[in-house]
Amino acid sequence: MDAETAHGATITALRLGLAPQQEHRDPAELATSLCGLELKNPVGMAAGFDKNAEVPRPLALMGFGMVEIGTVTPRPQTGNPKPRLFRVTEADGVINRMGFNNEGHEAAFARLEGLRVPAALGVNIGANKDSEDFVADYVLGVKRFADLADYLTVNISSPNTPGLRNLQADEALTRLLDAVLTARAKAKTRVPVLLKIAPDLDEAAMDAIARVVLATDLDGLIVSNTTISRDPVAGLENAGETGGLSGKPLFSLSTQRLAQMRQRVGALPIVGVGGIHSPQTALAKIEAGANAIQLYSALVFGGLDLLDRIKRGLVAGVRAAGKTNISQLVGAKTDAWARGDGEAA
């Protein structure tokens, strides 16, 4: 089945209640907090899966500790021409150039209003491709969802909206965060705001982002989005397609960037995303410095029961280390991962 068709079928199945539901409560070892939010476990569904807030409740009932919908833009947009989603099957990777296809703020808001989601609900906000002012679009996102979401993610790291990643640069990022956090201050509730960054950053860019972020009251980072690099999949089928690469091939790069950002931002909360495909890689992401983790692409290859396997593996990891809670393993191997030899450690 075509990759995008398969994705649509999965959303439909979840909407119809065909997904398995978690039968038992999560073990106490997995309970953790993130940006003041109490999570039953640290494993979340990343943005990109449920772009239009169609199935956050079924995902929560499956057992995710956090569910992030979006990316949503102020106005509906169709995204890039199809085909725009490709499997790199030999490497358990995915390349997408979706282009923030979504039904817009109002459709997502209508679905979320009054909905009870038994997990932390995140709304990932973005900018319309043809917008004259990207920053204004993010402000609209904060205004629309600040009183509805448990947290907001400012997504400036998709490679599929021309010019978007430029917002990661020093002055542009300062202007963006000032505008977003000013809008947040005017909301009824102080919703945590996280910034999602790209893995394709050099040392100087990471230094600049850390410097800007630490000068604000931003609540956390999500590291990382997809990569435009093709080094891990060079020569494989579909590797030449334009877009962002995710899945297993992204794991090493995104985890190194996570650890390097952890070194730069101290105790600031970080959600680790990118290439998690097993209990071992989930644990590694936490040891590299993630307070919580998200997955998406691996479910394409590992099936929905991957969530349960990862949670069981995390509990086993906590117990094997002689600890009582997953939070005690956060950053245990940050330095090794930052050097690039985390997998050996």
Assigned token pair, 184: 């947040």
Assigned token pair, 263: 């070194």
First to last CA, the chain: 39
254: annotated active-site residue: no
Which member of 157, 158, 246, 252 is catalytic? 158
194's enclosing H/E stretch is: strand 193-197
- Count CB atoms within 10 A of the CB of residue 248: 23
* Residues forming the active site: 158
